[in-house]
Structure 1
Amino acid sequence: MDSSLTHRFVDVNGVRLHIAEQGEGPLVLLLHGWPESWYSWRHQFGALAAAGYRAVAPDQRGYARSEQPPDVTSYTLLHLVGDVIALIEELGEEQAVVVGHDWGAPVAWTAAMLRPDKIRAVAGLSIPPILPGGMVPPSVTRTQYGEGFYQIYFQQPGVADAEFAKDIPGSFRRLLFGASGDNPLGGKPRPLVVPDGLGLLDTMPEPPALPAWLTEEDIQAYAEDFALHGEHAFTGAFNWYRNIERNNELLAPFRGRGIDVPALYVVGDRDMVTALRGPDTPLTAVVPQLHDAVVLPGCGHWTQQERPTEVNAALLDFLTHVDGPTDR
């Protein structure tokens, strides 16, 4: 990574967030997913900065170096979107392009739906726009996939938290490989279900070797930051899942509203998300200004890490579509 990448802390919307940033120009906010951090965008900073953009990636609330509010209800989409809007203002900007992966995608999509005056364009990686609540609520997924569905499993206070915190590097190693396109057992995407009496990590054995896109140094970078929260290393991250039902209740007034800014969607064809039964609605019905929907062959869930070259190309093509060619 370029040495001009810098780190600092900012206070926004009642929480202290760690941010990494590089470059000058129009602001592009990069929102990580579960259970990641700013580090998941390590391959995007340089490309965006070289193209004349200011790339900023926060550790979102509850994650890595950022503050972890103790109240479960402090992790709704309204809180998370509030963090995004406050961060744009704290950075001295009026607007931003927002790019989100995994859980960061619902935050990005929802921010674009609620605040098009602040979000001038949006890109979602892996998770498509499921409006208005960001994700299908547990009351529905329980019927579709059973009690073992991973999002239902995460609802149990302290259970998955303890499982993942027991061996933090091992948890990242298993999960990042297990949900990747390099896992030979994941050739045909399917919903992630935890068998009765087991934990999620029991379904993801230690990889015999790390794939080319992932190093032991990468694993340690994630693990060291999450370890700052001790036995609650993953609790903030799991609390996002514990608000899915609440999100749908709080955002009910916006049901039927779409996204009125330019948009991009990128997904791997081996991503488990492609096997989930979401709302049967064409993307363009929700996002009429959809620039492109890019499907990456052989790519699993960790889109921008597994396929950085392709993701960077898609993002830069999208930004050119939004801003036109520049001399920056």
Structure 2
Amino acid sequence: MALCSPSHPAPASTVTAVADYIQIPTPAGKFDALTAGPQDGRPVLLLHGFPEAAVEWSEQLAVLGGAECFAVAPDQRGYSPGVRPQQVSDYRMTELVDDVLAIAEHFGWDRFDLVGHDWGAVVAWTTAAAHPERIRTLTAVSIPHPDPFNAALREDEDQATRSAYIQEFRSSTAEKALLADNAKKLRRIYYPGVPEHHVDDYVQRLTEPGALTAALNWYRAARYNSREIGPVEVPTLFAWSTEDVAVGSTAALATADHVTGPYRFEMLEDVSHWIPEEAPDTFTRLLLQHLLAHQT
């Protein structure tokens, strides 16, 4: 299935961001999602990160849909009200990967392109490692392959310092701290990089009853996850930015050693953690190039 992209697609910032809202029924519940493009187009699944939602991918959805792909961006487990279990263990990685496969099954996709940012990238890396026969290409944004990232957490002082916030998010007082004073601390997470109208959308969603707890449970459930996921053999694009306060260069540079398939590493200068929203034109161009390079 070919990607019907023009040779020089319009920049994301000039494309009208039009997406359709749908619900995707799965055994776990109904996922809210945004889609763009024809349903018989090349399937691309985009997974958002913390603390965001499917609207993170608004610019990419518009461009992919215009390129005749069928792009689907779900609000992931806990972010969709219809899939918001209360137990921390329900947010372990095996459940999150099963959600990806269940969404693919709903659409009848044998193979698909998988894109993930932040926690969505962790899910995407893990899915690609465990189910390479299902993934045509992987695009991971901001978060390196989990194996070198976990090693950096243990061995690299810089990465350990950058990741100190994780323990705060796992604490029982995290919700209260993030939502205090009109969600001042939650709003601060998005700066710089996330457009104001997206910040307002995210904060409104996460102030709904149970929503922030569900999002934080991704961090709290990490103790249930496997220590290593192993190498990734599918064609992979990894985009990392130099001004990412959460992820240092150690794991980013080491990721190449954990991909056995075709690999492309792109370092975005002077861009923060929020690559898809802060640098949509640059990132979407890289994504389209990656898809066009691997069409079989």
With normalisation by structure 1, the TM-score equals 0.77
Identical amino acids, percent of aligned pairs: 29
State how far apart, in whole Å, the 1-side matches of 2:76 and 2:181 are.
22
Question: Does residue 175 of the first structure (1) align with residue 155 of the second (2)?
Answer: no
In the alignment, which residue of structure 2 is the partner of 1:227? 207
Q: 1:319 aligns with which of 286, 291, 295?
A: 291
2:279 pairs with one of 307, 316, 323 = 307
Q: 1:76 to 1:138 in 2, by over 3 A?
A: farther
Of Structure 1 and Structure 2, the greater helix share is in 2
TM-fit CA distance, 1:141: 8.1
Q: Residues of 2 paired with 1:103 and 1:316: CA distance?
A: 22
Question: Does 1:156 find its partner at 2:128?
Answer: no
Shift of the alpha carbon at 1:277? Answer: 5.2
Asked if 1:267 is matched to 2:236, the reply is no
> 1:88 offset after TM fit, Å?
0.5
3-state SS of 2:46 partner? strand
Alignment pair present for 1:40 and 2:56 = yes
User: CA, structure 1 residues 260+139, in 2 after alignment: closer, same or farther (shift >3 Å)?
Assistant: closer
Give CA deviations for 1:240-272 in whole Å, capped at 9, x if unaligned: 1112222135xx5x5xx3111100000111012
The question of whether the paired residues in 2 share the 8 Å contact of 1:128 and 1:265 is answered with yes
Q: CA deviation at 1:3?
A: 7.0
Match of 2:268 in 1: 296
Once the 2 structures are TM-superposed, how far is the Cα of residue 126 of structure 1 from its aligned partner?
Answer: 0.2
**Match of 1:282?**
254
Could you report, residue by residue, the CA deviation over 1:156-176 in whole angstroms, capped at 9, with x for unpaired residues? Answer: 22x111222335664453111
Q: Deviations over 1:215-236 (max 9, x none)?
A: 3x322222232233x2x33111
Q: In 2 relative to 1, CA 156–294 (structure 1 residues): closer, same or farther, beyond 3 Å?
A: same
SS at match of 1:248: coil
For 1:6 and 1:78, the matched residues in 2 are separated by: 28
Aligned residue for 1:247? 225
- Given the alignment, which residue of 25, 31, 55 partners 1:11? 25
How many equivalent residue pairs? 279
Give the one of 105, 113, 136 matched to 2:150: 136
Q: Which runs of 5+ in 2 are unaligned?
A: 1-14
Q: 2:135 aligns with which of 102, 119, 125?
A: 119
Secondary structure of 2:267's partner?
Answer: strand
Deviation at 1:275, TM superposition (A): 2.4
* Structure 1 vs Structure 2 CA RMSD: 2.8
Shift of 1:67: 2.4
Q: Kindly provide the amino acid, as one letter, of the partner of residue 267 in structure 2.
A: V
- Give the distance between the partners of 1:297 and 1:139, measured in 2 at CA: 23
> Is contact 2:47–2:76 with CA below 8 Å preserved after alignment?
yes
1:16 Cα shift? 2.3
More moved, 1-10 vs 297-306: 1-10
2:179 to 165, 170, 175: 165
Residue aligned with 2:137, SS: strand
